[in-house]
Amino acid sequence: MAYTTCKGNVFHILGLLCLLLLIQKNNATEFKVGDPKGWTVPDNTSSKNHLNDWAERNRFQKGDSLVFDYDASQDSVVQVTKEGYEKCNAENPLEKFNGGHTVFNISQYGAHYYFISGNRDHCQKNEKMEVRVLADRSTNATASPPSPGSSDMVPAPTPSSEESPPAGTVDINPTPPPTGPPPNSASSMFVSFFGSMGAFFASSLILAI
């Protein structure tokens, strides 16, 4: 019975995981790079990079994918570092693709990806692109500071001329002395005498028994 229950729970968990993966996949978007021009050299090399213009107009998230279409006989796609991007240096690539149809999956929140053409001459003519991915909002939610004049602002305490007692100390009030007049010596001797006599008679009675 326990085995059957455990097996059922495992299948239930696997089902939930598959459902979550399907939901994430359905929310993902495929972006055709440079649409409608694609992964190509800009028509006018003096103009601004049309690939970066395209990337700035879109909002990329984790799970989305970039689709590069190009002529594999003359071009390729190379993922590089920022330095490689700026210098059109494809000698130490992070990834290199030359199949003519490349699908690049975005796997990180807040990441910066840099792509250049594997043809250095094409890269120097601005066939390169920087992609910035949106950050995960659930980890960057911070409370906004209250505006001036808001009722949520707490005024700073006014400094006092008297020093506050150190933390953790407790004031102990001494026990007040008795207010009545002190007993005189005669009454004290009287009480002491009768107390001694009582003890003497009590011990005598015990011995007599």
Q: Give the per-residue pLDDT at 37.
A: 85
Q: Give the per-residue pLDDT at 60.
A: 96
Q: Name residue 66's amino acid.
A: L
Phi, psi values for residue 69, rounded to 5°: -115, 130
Q: Give the per-residue pLDDT at 77.
A: 98
Q: Give the per-residue pLDDT at 84.
A: 97
pLDDT < 50 regions, the chain: 3, 6, 10, 16-25, 140-166, 168-172, 180-194, 205-207
Which domains, and CATH codes, for the chain? Answer: 22-136 (2.60.40.420)
Whether the full predicted model's pTM is greater than 0.85, yes or no, is: no
Q: Give the per-residue pLDDT at 6.
A: 46
Question: Which residues make beta-bridge pairs with 66?
Answer: 31, 104
Q: Give the per-residue pLDDT at 154.
A: 44
Cα separation of 58 and 64, whole Å?
Answer: 11
Q: Give the per-residue pLDDT at 179.
A: 52
